[in-house]
Amino acid sequence: MYTLTYESTATNTVKGAEMEELLEKARTNNSRDSITGCLIYYKGSFVQLLEGDKSKIEVLYAKIQKDERHKNVTLFSEDEISTRMFPNWGMAYYPINENHATKYEYEQFKRNLIMLSDLVKPTSATAKQFWKKIKNLISDPPL
Ligand SMILES: Cc1cc2nc3c(=O)[nH]c(=O)nc-3n(C[C@H](O)[C@H](O)[C@H](O)COP(=O)(O)O)c2cc1C
């Protein structure tokens, strides 16, 4: 098995309905292809970790790179793995809408992600890089 993690910049402020559509598609495809992972959206940036069969991930990542809903798609780590970090999630999604989020909601979002990172043990160097990136991203407050 194989895992990769990338970051990207959303091209438009992502609207709830568009994101729902994207996720529904992702979850259907990923479950068909036994791909799991986690997608974070914060302050106009995406960070996603994908894991599964290498050839399947390569096909998906090629599609993702061409997707016009985001740009500057940059791979920052990849690994061969034997264990998944998100075996039970087709595609976990953690968004926050910084335009509407209150300081409390933002703190909650941060706490949840930190809790998740403590709960979900990194199973590769790529997984560690993923959490490092997330922690770095959320250390930049929206307000
Ligand atoms: C940030 C981001 C993350 C995405 N993640 C996935 C994903 O995990 N799985 C997936 O199938 N498509 C994902 N997509 C959508 C793909 O780019 C592409 O639109 C979709 O896979 C096309 O599916 P189709 O070949 O069935 O039409 C993502 C798109 C973006 C912008």
Structural domain span for residue 72: 2-138
Pairing between strand 45-52 and 70-80?
unpaired
Q: State if residue 22 touches ligand 1 by the CB under 6 angstroms criterion.
A: yes
CATH of the domain at 123: 3.30.70.100
**Domain tally, the chain:** 1
Question: Does residue 143 sit within a domain?
Answer: no
Minimum mean pLDDT range among 8-17, 49-58, 78-87, 105-114: 8-17
Q: What is the pLDDT of residues 44-99, one digit of tens each?
A: 899 999 999 999 999 999 999 999 999 999 999 999 999 999 988 778 888 776 66
Question: Does residue 40 sit within a domain?
Answer: yes
CA 46, 48, 53 angle in degrees (round to 5)? 155
Predicted confidence at residue 82, as pLDDT, reads 95
Query: How many A from CA of 61 to the centre of ligand 1?
Result: 8
Question: Does residue 94 sit within a domain?
Answer: yes
Contact between residue 14 and residue 69 where contact means Cβ atoms under 8 Å apart? yes
Pick from 87, 106, 95: nearest CA to 36: 87
CA distance 14 to 136: 21
For the chain, how long is the longest CA-to-CA vector? 42
Atom 25 of ligand 1 has which residue's CA nearest to it? 63
**Percent of the chain clearing pLDDT 70 (strictly above):** 95
